[in-house]
Amino acid sequence: MTLDALAAEARRSMGAALSSLGLGAPDYGVEPSARPGFGDVSSNAAFLLARQAGRPPAAIASDIARACPAGRLVERVEAHASGHVNFFADAAALARETVTSALRKGYCTADVGRGRRATVEHTSVNPNKALHIGHMRNVALGDAVARMLAATGHDVSTLNYVDDSGLQVANLMIGFDELGFAESPGAGQKFDAYCGDTVYVGAMERIEADEGLRRRASEVLARIERGGTEEARRAERLTRRILDAQLETCWRVGARYDCLNFESHILRSGMWEGIFARLRESGAVRLEAAGKNAGCWTVPGEDGEDDKVLVRSGGTATYMAKDIPYAAWKLGLVEDPFGYEPHATAQPGRELACTTLGGPAGGASRFASPRVITVIDSRQSRLQGIISSLLRRFFGVGEGAYVHLAYESVALSAETARGLGLETGGRAAQMSGRRGLYVGADSVLDSLAARAMEETSRRNGGAPEAELRRVAEQIAVGALRYEMVRQDLDRAVTFDLARSLSLEGDTAAYLQYAHARAVRVLERAGGGHGDADYGALGGPHERALVMAIGSFGPALRGAASSLSPKTLARYAHGLAVGFNSFYEHVRVTDGEGGDGATAARVALVAAFRATIEGTAGILGIPMPGRM
C-alpha cells in the first residue's frame, strides 16, 4: 500500500505547487510510473493545464516540478520532456514505510468497499455428476471474486444454486428406478462420479433411443416440480447425496459458501407465479399459437435471434423461468419466501445454510444485495442478457447491479487427457457431461498431488510422510486454481498437468517456490530483525522488491473493481519474480554492510512473505513452507 502513501504525498506536493503558481486544479492523476526514468509515481497535470494556459505541457511541467516541495517520502521532483511531472521517492524512507506496513496485520486488504453488500453466485453444477475440470474454472473464479470483494471491505454473501428439479434429475431417476442401475458405486468410487460416469450416461443412451422412456422422464419431471410427490422426495434424497459428494471437491480446493439455494424451493415458493403474471400483463412474453413453440410462453427474440421459451407447452418451466425469480431474490426485489437451516454436512470453518420452505420468511433475504455477480460460462450469455434486460425493464434495476461474469471453456491438453485415460486422437479434450466425455476434478487433483508428492519427497528426504502429503495437496490445489484464474476470461483454457507444476514461468508452483525460499531464509536468520538500516535497501534488486510489495494496494483495488482475478494473479507473479531476482543477487544473512543492513534485508524478506501469502490467499492459492 505504500505506493498509495507516496502518491498521496505527491498529490499534496502538486496541490501546493499549483496554488503557488496560480494555476487551476484540474482532475489530474498521480499514478505509479509505467516506464523507467519516469520516477516512482507520475502526474499528467501539465497536459490538462496546457490548453487553458496556452503553453506547452513540458514548460508547465518544469514550472510545477520547481515549485513542488519535497516531503517525507518524496525526495525530488523532475519534469520530463514529454510533459509528465515525475516524483522520485527517498529510497530509505520508502523502504521503511513499505516493510513496516507489509508486516502489520491487514496490509493485504483495502477499505474501498466498506458499507457495501455484494452477492456472488458460483459453482451451481447440476447434481447428477461429479465436478469436471471445466467446472473448476467457475469454482476458482467465483471463489476468488468473493475473496477479492471481502478483502476490499465488502459484505459478501456467496451462493451455490442447486438444480435439483431439472430434466437431468428425472433422467437419473429413470436410470435407477427403471433401467436397473445399482444404488451404490463400486469400492473406491465417489457417488457423484458413479452417477455421472455410469448411471446418467447409460440412462441417456437408452432414453434418447426410446420414445416411451422420454415420455416417462417428462412425467417424472412434472411430478418433481409439482412437489409433495414420491418422485419429488426421491429426487431430493438423490440430489442431496450427490451434492454432498460435489461439495467435498469444492471444499478440497478451498471454496466456501454461505447458502445453498435449491431450485425446487424456488419453483414451489410462489415467486415465479407472481413474476410470470406481471410479465404476461406487460406483454413481455407471449403464448405461441403455432410453429415449433406452439403452446409455449416465450420471450420474443431481438435482432434476428430466436424466441426464448419460458414455459414449455406441458407447463414445465425452463431454466430461464427459474432464473428470473432467483435473480430478483438475489437482488432483494421480492419478499423472501424461504426459511433457512444448517446444511446437514458441516462445511469446514464456515456455517453453511440451506433454503427451506418451512419456518419464518418475509422481508428481504439476508443473502440478497444491491449488487449481484453471477459466474456462468459464456454459453449462457444470451440467457443472462435477457434476464438482465427484464430486471431493468420491470424492476428498475440499474446498470451494473446484475453482473454476468462470463468465461470461456476449459479443455485438457492431449497429453494430459491421455495420461488420465481419455484418448482424443492427439487433440485437446473438451468436456461434455452429457456424453460422458470428461475427467473429474478429483482425478485431476489426485494426479497433480501424486506428481507433486514424487518431487517433494525427492527434495525433502527424511521429512514425515504426512507432512509431505499435505504439501503435495497444497501444490495440487494451487496448480489447479491458478491455471483457472491467470488467463483472460474470454480466452479458453487448455490445462496441462506438467506445465501447471513447473517451477518456472507463470504457475502457482513458481509463486509457492518463491515463498518456500523466503521461509528458508527467515529460518536461517532466526529471531527478530533488530535495528534495521533501511538505507541499505537502495540497490536495484532491493528497490525493485520494495516497489513490488508497495504496489499491492493498487493491484487489489484494480482487481476488485474490474472483477478480474487475473489482475491479482499477474501482480502475484510479478512479486515472485521480484523476490527471486533479489534472492539470486543479494546475500541476505552474510553480514555484509553490518547488522543493520542484515536486519533490513531480513525484514524485507519477511515483508515479501507476508505479501505473497496475503495475495495468494485472496486467490485461494495455498503457500506451503517447503517445496
- Which domains does the chain carry? 2-89 (3.30.1360.70), 503-627 (1.10.730.10)
* Confidence (pLDDT) at 361: 65
**C-alpha dihedral sign at 176, 179, 181, 182:** positive
Rounded distance between C-alpha atoms, residue 456 and residue 312, angstroms = 56
pLDDT tens string 446-477: 999 999 999 999 999 889 999 999 999 999 99
- Our measurement of the distance from residue 523's CA atom to the centroid of its chain's CA atoms, rounded to an integer in Å, reads 33
- Of 26, 36, 35, 43, whose CA–CA distance to 86 is shortest? 43
* Confidence (pLDDT) at 426: 77
- What residues does 78 pair with on adjacent strands? 86
* Confidence (pLDDT) at 332: 94
Determine the 3-state secondary structure of 286 from DSSP. Answer: strand
Q: Which helix (H) or strand (E) holds 459?
A: helix 441-459
Rounded distance between C-alpha atoms, residue 621 and residue 572, angstroms = 11
- Of 492, 482, 300, whose CA–CA distance to 406 is shortest? 492
pLDDT tens string 285-321: 899 999 999 999 998 887 777 888 888 888 777 878 8
Q: How many CB atoms lie within 10 A of CB 472?
A: 21
Does residue 423 register a pLDDT over 80? Answer: no
CB 81 within 8 A of CB 59: no
CB 94 within 8 A of CB 73: yes
Does residue 33 register a pLDDT over 90? Answer: no
Q: Which helix (H) or strand (E) holds 209?
A: none
Show the cell assigned to 51.
Answer: 490548453
Does residue 122 register a pLDDT over 80? Answer: yes
Does residue 363 register a pLDDT over 80? Answer: no
Question: Buried b vs exposed e over 408-438: b needs ≥16 C-beta within 10 Å?
Answer: bebbbbbebbeebebebeeebbbbebeeeeb
Show the cell assigned to 71.
Answer: 516531503
Strand order from edge to edge, sheet including 117-121 = 339-342, 353-356, 259-262, 155-162, 117-121, 372-375, 402-405
* Confidence (pLDDT) at 333: 92
Residue 287: half-sphere exposure toward Cβ, Cα within 13 Å = 9
- DSSP 8-state secondary structure symbol assigned to residue 392: H
Rg of the Cα atoms in the chain: 28
pLDDT tens string 60-110: 999 999 999 989 999 999 999 999 999 999 999 999 999 999 999 999 999
Show the cell assigned to 431.
Answer: 468436456
